[in-house]
Amino acid sequence: MSYEFDFSFINDYMPDIWYGIWLSLGMTFVSIVPGFALGTGCAIGRLYGPPWVQRLVTIYVEGIRNTPLIIQVFWLFFGLAVLQIRVGPFPAAVIALVINVGAYTAEIMRAGFQSIPKGQLEAAACLALKPSQSLWSVQLPQAVERVYPALVSQFVLMMLATSIMSQISAEELTGVAYMIQSFTFRGFEVYLVIAAIYLAMACLLRLTLLGIAQVSFPRKRRLGTSL
Amino acid sequence: MNATSKINTTTASAIEASSMTNATPLVRFEGVRKSFGELEVLKGIDLEVKTGEVVALIGRSGSGKSTALRCVNGLERINAGKLTVCGRDLHNGNVDLRELRQDVGIVFQSYNLFPHLTVEQNVTLAPRKVHKIGAAEARTLAGEVLAQVGLSDKAQNYPEQLSGGQQQRVAIARSLAMRPKLILFDEVTSALDPELTGEVLRVIEKLASEGMTMMLVTHEMAFARSVADQVVFMHHGKIWETGTGDMLANPQTPELRQFVGNGL
Amino acid sequence: MFGLTIEQLAFIFRGAGWTIVLSLLGFVGGTLLGLPVALARASHNRGLNWLSGAFVQLIQGIPLPVIMFVVYFGISIGGYDVPALVAAGIAMTLYSSAYLGEIWRGCIQAVPKTQWEAGECLALTNTQRFVYVILPQALRIAVPPTVGFLVQIVKNTSYAVVIGFFDLTYSAKVINNSTFMPFTVFTIAALIYFAICFPMSALARRFERRLTRS
């Protein structure tokens, strides 16, 4: 097998690649906070909400976790189009990502809340804190700190999953790769380079999120131990 | 122990004021019954705790002493009889537990400090959220109550950096910071090594001398004898014998005699 | 039915059949390659450990659609024209083996150290100890997360649509393009995926509960 590798496309298409990176990371970062908030809200609803909320959250979480992201994306994007609601590919991608990652985050956060010792809740109640105050000041910080590694992994997976958004013509990194290979016919080289870029992005995202933990958990920063 | 030997004037005067206005007992059990499913753990309890009094509940595990204590701040609901705490009838379904718990503090066997907060934040969380005091006032308050338990220098530490005895003293300070009329102690030294028990008992003893009203479930017989105004021996869900600390020296019932015999 | 013809529905179900085929390929391939990965990850040989660790990090850091493309174009530069099923099968194998390898490593290492020591006292060789003492216990722990990962495999076969593999997602997309009934078509597709995945999710949970109880 004599194949001549040709990576010259990198120079020609560098601006497009940067744009793809920008879009992929943009989608990811925009989705993280609302996805986390949605998931945490659902976890709380499933644990402490009235029965109908619990049932609703269970249906949402199980429905999302047992169907592929790409089907959810198509359902939303093509569905909105039929309803004559004009939503660009980028917002549609973000909405789908938030809904998707919210379901996974809900399960992670639920496990986090459930891992808090009963004595903590009793102590909070005995100090005359309202249930909402106990949730916000005592349970939530401990739950987040306990499951933070799992959350980081989930958000890295979400970043990788943005790679299908070119299917709804959001020209993120994988979409850019497809465009380049269709012009250069260097599919193998293009996707090798793209794979390396994703690898670097995954590393970067992981480090960033772990760095955020160092800043936002003062106890961890001081002691270096986990809860 | 320089800081701890100063008598805290705020607490003392607050207690004086409440004892002048309150002639009725702070806690009154009248025929209180409590069951967990089929099992009746309190079979008609009658007990009074006056302002400024220290009451020690003793007895075997399963005798109902911890349950009786937990009824006082509403952690357990009574099934029959009447329980009045700080002027509130706890059998009444619509008693506001949050209001009650501002008057009644509790310290647990397992400390239950909040691990993600510093000592100072642990102590001031409830005053800030419930009493809505400001940051500066909270800091002063933390300084005061931590001095009371002799831990002024640990304000910025996290619970896991402290020994068990120190953690338990922080838990006491956390309770004091709410300025309660009554503090419940639920076997607070049972999880501690013998050498750490003393420092916690000394803090409780000092609070007693300052006039704090307290109910404590304890296995420390010598401590109960020296500190408590009233010792209550519980057996099979009933108050079997009650009296001053000297009761432990000459028990009237064979059950208490056996219990004290084993205990000492 | 639901505004679709029988032919259209049959087309979608034919896609579902290929989804199951690719899932099975991915699981079998992932098991065959994942077992050595797990053993290498758990071994005390530095070189093997590093190599398998690098493989896992690599695969877990690249999106599955990109792996699909790399395999697809990688095979074709050799001058071979392979069906999408083969490329997708290889990609699913690589993907599954990295995750299964990591899951099973955890299971092997979850067996208490004392069990190794007990095996040593019985004068068993290293291999014997592994096969007769460690493996049976690790397998028991491995069942719930492995069944759980099957769900991931089934869902992620949908990414093969990027290299044009005909599966449930692909067939649904085709029918949607001709009928313009996205809600109907993709809801049917979602329900089929759900019908495959949910029982496995529930089973995994049940196994896990049983394991934690014992």
Q: pLDDT (tens digit, 9 = 90+) per residue, C114-166?
A: 887 787 788 788 888 888 888 888 889 999 999 999 999 999 999 999 999 99
Give how many domains chain B has, as a whole number: 1
Residue C1 included in any domain: no
pLDDT per residue as tens digits for the range B23-50: 579 999 999 999 999 999 999 999 999 9
Tens digit of pLDDT for each residue in B70-119?
999 999 999 999 999 998 998 877 789 999 999 999 999 999 999 999 99
Q: Which of C159, C182, C198 sits opposite A79 (nearest CB)?
A: C182
Task: Say whether residue A81 is in contact with chain B using an 8 A CB cutoff.
Answer: no
Residue of B nearest to A136 (CA): B129
CATH number of the domain to which B258 belongs: 3.40.50.300
* Radius of gyration in angstroms for the set of CA atoms belonging to chain C, rounded to a whole number: 21
Q: Do the Cβ atoms of C190 and A67 come within 8 Å?
A: yes
Residues B13/B58, Cβ–Cβ less than 8 Å? no
Confirm if A206 and A156 have CB atoms less than 8 A apart: yes
Beta carbons of A127 and B101 less than 8 Å apart: yes
Q: What is the pTM of this model?
A: 0.90
Considering the domain boundaries, does residue C205 fall inside one? yes
Is the distance from CB of B213 to CB of B183 less than 8 angstroms? yes
Cβ <8 Å between B112 and A217? no
Residue B66 covered by a domain: yes
pLDDT for the residue numbered B262: 59
- The answer, yes or no, to whether residue B140 has pLDDT greater than 90, is yes
Full residue range of the structural domain in which residue C21 is found: 6-213
The neighbour count for residue C178, using CB atoms within 10 Å, is 10
Q: With an 8 Å Cβ cutoff, are B130 and A120 in contact? A: no
CB contact under 8 Å between A129 and B125, yes or no, is yes
User: Does the pLDDT at position B15 exceed 70?
Assistant: no
Average per-residue pLDDT for chain B: 89
Distance CA C12, CA C6 (A): 10
CA neighbor of B212 nearest in space, from B23, B55, B28, B34: B55
Which distant-in-sequence residues (6+ apart) come within 8 Å of B195 by Cβ?
A: none
| CB B215, CB B182: distance < 8 Å | yes
Nearest to C78 among A1, A72, A75 (CB): A1
How close, in Å, is residue A86 to chain B by CA atoms?
Answer: 46
- Whether residue C155 and residue A68 make contact (CB cut-off 8 A), yes or no, is yes
* A79: in domain: yes
3-class secondary-structure state, position C92: helix
Interchain contact, A127 vs B73, CB within 8 Å = no
Position C113 in a domain: yes
Q: For residue B6, what pLDDT is reported?
A: 39
* Angular region, B83: left φ>0, alpha ψ -120 to 50, beta rest: beta
Q: What is the mean pLDDT of residues A173-188?
A: 93
Which residue of chain A is at minimal alpha-carbon distance from C185? Answer: A75
For A159, the closest chain C residue by CA position comes to: C63
Residue with tokens 């003492």: C133
Tell me how many helices (H) and strands (E) chain C has: 9, 0
Average pLDDT over residues C186-207: 96
Taking the CA of residue A120 and the nearest CA in chain B, the distance in Å comes to: 6
Cβ pairs bridging A and B (under 8 Å): 65
The average confidence (pLDDT) of chain A is 94
- Residue C130 in any domain: the answer is yes
Q: What is the pLDDT of residue A8?
A: 87
Domain contains A58: yes
pLDDT exceeds cutoff 70 at C194: yes
CATH number at residue A84: 1.10.3720.10
Q: Is the pLDDT of residue A215 over 80?
A: yes
Calpha distance A217→A224 (Å, rounded):
10
Helical (H) or strand (E) element with B32: strand B27-36
- The mean per-residue pLDDT over the stretch A21-37 comes to 97
Q: In this predicted model, what pLDDT tens digit does every residue of B239-255 receive, in sequence order?
A: 999 999 889 888 899 99
Give the chain A residue whose CA is nearest to the CA of B132: A129
Number of domains in chain A: 1
Q: Looking at beta carbons, which residues of chain A come within 8 Å of B168?
A: none
Residue-level pLDDT at B8: 46
Q: Is the pLDDT of residue B185 over 60?
A: yes
Q: Mean per-residue pLDDT for A89-111?
A: 97
**Nearest residue to B173 via CA among B136, B141, B139, B219:** B141
* pLDDT tens readout for residues A121-151: 999 999 999 999 999 999 999 999 999 999 9
Tell me what the mean pLDDT of segment A172-177 comes to: 95
Q: Is the pLDDT of residue B17 over 60?
A: no
Sheet containing B27-36, strands listed edge to edge, beginning at the edge strand earlier in sequence: B39-49, B27-36, B80-85, B88-89
Distance from CA of A219 to the nearest CA of C (A): 28
* Structural domain span for residue B74: 2-114+181-263
Three-class DSSP category at B56: strand
At C209, which CATH number?
A: 1.10.3720.10
N- to C-terminal Cα separation, chain B: 29
> Chains near C, with 3+ CB pairs < 8 A?
A
Residue C168 lies in a domain: yes
A104 touches chain C (CB under 8 A): no
CA proximity to C159, closest of C60, C36, C65, C87: C65
Residue B23: predicted pLDDT: 57
Alpha-carbon dihedral of residues C198, C201, C203, C204, nearest 10 degrees? 170
> How buried is C137 (Cβ within 10 angstroms: 0-12 exposed, 13-18 middle, 19+ buried)?
middle
pLDDT at B137: 96
Return the half-sphere exposure (C-beta side, CA atoms, 13 A cut-off) of residue C207: 16
pLDDT by residue (tens digit) across B168-184? 999 999 999 999 999 99
A183 domain residue, yes or no: yes
In the numeric block, the tokens 């019908």 are attached to C195
Question: In terms of DSSP bridges, do strands B54-58 and B230-235 run parallel, antiparallel, or are they unpaired?
Answer: parallel
> What separation in angstroms does the CA of A148 have from each of A108, A117, A140?
9, 17, 12
Distances (CA, A) of B264 to B63, B216, B259, C93, C194: 19, 19, 9, 69, 66
Check pLDDT > 80 for residue B162: yes
| C-alpha–C-alpha distance, residues A6 and C201, integer Å | 45
Q: Smallest Cβ distance to C180: which of A75, A82, A161?
A: A82
Task: Report whether pLDDT(B4) > 80.
Answer: no
Terminal Cα-to-Cα distance of chain A (whole angstroms) = 55
A145 close contact with B: CB closer than 8 A: yes
* Cβ-Cβ contacts under 8 Å, C61 against chain A: 160, 198-199, 202-203
Tokens representing B100 are: 């009650």
Asked whether the beta carbons of residue A164 and residue C180 sit closer than 8 angstroms, the reply is no
By CA distance, what is C61's nearest residue in A?
A199
Residue A70 and residue C159: Cβ atoms within 8 Å?
A: yes
Lowest mean pLDDT among A31-40, A194-203, C112-121: C112-121
Instruction: Work out the pLDDT band at A226, boundaries 50, 70, 90.
Output: confident
Q: What is the mean pLDDT of residues C9-28?
A: 97
Q: Which residue of C has its CA nearest to A198?
A: C62
For residue A2, is it within any domain? no
Is C76 in Cβ contact with A199 (below 8 Å)? no
Largest Cα–Cα distance in chain C?
70
The residue among C4, C1, C11, C23 whose CA lies nearest residue C172 is C11
Residue B10 has pLDDT above 50, yes or no: no
- Chain B's closest residue to A141, CA to CA, is B116
- CA separation for the pair B120, C78 (Å, rounded): 68
Query: Quick one: three-class SS letters along chain A?
Result: CCCCCCCCHHHHHHHHHHHHHHHHHHHHHHHHHHHHHHHHHHHHHHHHCCHHHHHHHHHHHHHHHCCCHHHHHHHHHHHHHHCCCCCCHHHHHHHHHHHHHHHHHHHHHHHHHHCCCHHHHHHHHHCCCCHHHHHHHHHHHHHHHHHHHHHHHHHHHHHHHHHHHHHHCCCCHHHHHHHHHHHHCCHHHHHHHHHHHHHHHHHHHHHHHHHHHHHHCHHHHHHCCCC
Structural domain containing residue A187: 9-223
Lowest mean pLDDT among A84-88, A90-94, C14-18: A84-88
The pLDDT value given to residue C54: 97
Nearest CA among B71, B93, B94, B76 for reference residue B182: B71
Select the residue of B97, B117, B158 nearest A222 (Cβ to Cβ).
Answer: B158
Which residue in B has a C-alpha nearest to residue A131's C-alpha? B98
pLDDT of residue B146: 97
- Chain C residue numbers touching A79 (CB-CB < 8 A): 182-183, 186
Alpha carbon distance A103, A72 (integer Å): 12
Residues in chain B closer than 8 A to A225 (CB atoms): 160
User: Considering its fold, how many domains does chain C have in total?
Assistant: 1
Chain A residues touching residue B215 (CB < 8 angstroms) = none
Report which of A73, A32, A29, A24 is spatially closest to residue A175, judged by C-alpha positions.
A24
